[in-house]
Amino acid sequence: MNGTSTKVAQSRNFGLDLLRMLACYMVIQVHAGEFFYIDQTSHVIMGTNTFWVGILNSLCRASVPLFVMLSGYFLLPLKESNTQTFYRKRFVRVVVPFVIWCALYAMYNVLRGNTTFCEGLLNICQIPVNYGVQLGHLWYIYMLIGLYLFAPIISPWLRSSSRKSVELYLYIWIFTLLIPYIHRIFPEVLGECYWNNTPMLYYFSGLLGYMILGAYLKLYWREWRRWFLPLGIVLVVAGYALTVGVFVDLIDRVSLVADLELSWNFDTINVAMMTLGLFLLFKNIGERCANQRSLFRRIITDISALSYGIYLAHMMLLNLFHGLFASVSDSALVQVPLMAICAFAASYAIIKLLSLLPQSKYLVG
């Protein structure tokens, strides 16, 4: 590593690089699990494998919220005073690779025989409408673009607002995390009805709350405090227990995957508990890491920097390893981690090679 690269590595937050790497792996494990509990009609596959997926992947549901919190932590309040400059940087790093990979997935589906060549071309043309290919992990990019579009709007408020004002927003957001469970008793609450899809707390809900929570931690909880460790452990353990408990309880009681995944919803209190707990446990690790130039640290930093490309590419590798390991074992307990680890490693290797190409930012972000 040259001197400039060393300075860049030392300026990074190692704990948050480690957390981003973990979140990236967790996403891949979640998607590996989908082969074992979702059938072709989005119904639950009954059996032991669904139970093991619940055990293995409930903690992994914190992955997307962790990515959003990291975005809030690093982006908000915005450093760029010019909104156009902010959008231009994000367009190059996020939108361009996304469009390229959408087109690659469209052709990938043609090669697999899932669509015709003409249908593949039509799917590419439909990218501005929706991702155009039936690979659900790409939903995340549209959500991320939406948060980036909103960032310059929310940033002045965060910069000028008092701590209590930000906490008021977060308290109301935390209450909205209970609504998926309140719906089990009252299907419509706080103005919800078929002609109104923006009820009372609509504007306080959603993944934006994680972004603001990330910014709040940077603004007010940046320095390490001894109570972060016990609080983080309690939040992770309690959040996981609630998440897996509800999931396992519903396995034999529901038929639709959407109902089974009640406690896997990102907008639930238990997922938020796991997310905040993991963030508190990891965010200050770098302060206690003595060896700034260790190989382990450099690898973690590199994976973190390439995590967007890994996310975009991993579904192709997961499909490959699912086919390769089909005869290894019928158990999700064996196959899910095996597929996830191999797909994660292979995705990193491929994206690393692509990153060495000229103008690689248009491929890997």
List per-block mean pLDDT (blocks of 10 residues) for the chain, which spans 365 residues. Answer: 38 89 97 93 92 96 97 91 86 90 88 85 84 77 94 94 96 97 94 92 95 96 92 98 97 94 97 98 75 80 95 93 89 95 97 93 87
Residue 309 makes CB contacts below 8 A (sequence gap 6+) with: 97, 347, 351, 354, 355, 363, 364, 365
Residue 339: how many CA atoms within 13 Å on its side-chain side?
A: 35
Total domains present in the chain: 1
Sign of torsion over alpha carbons 116, 120, 125, 130: positive
Residue with tokens 């995390």: 177
CB 72 within 8 A of CB 210: yes
Tokens at 186, concatenated: 């009252």
At residue 287, the pLDDT reads 62
Whole-model pTM: value is 0.92
Distances, alpha carbon 138 to alpha carbons 9, 64, 178, 236, in Å: 29, 12, 27, 27
Q: What is the largest CA-CA distance in the chain?
A: 61
pLDDT at 29: 97
Q: Look-up: residue for tokens 């979702």? A: 38
pLDDT at 133: 66
The angle that helices 14-37 and 295-305 make with each other, rounded to 10 degrees, is 60
Instruction: Give the separation between CA 94 and CA 100, rounded to whole angstroms.
Output: 10
Note down the domain range covering 352: 3-364
CA 45/CA 35 separation, integer angstroms? 10
- Whether the link from the prior residue into 77 is cis, omega within 30° of 0, is yes
pLDDT in the model for residue 55: 97
C-alpha span between 149 and 147 (Å, rounded): 5
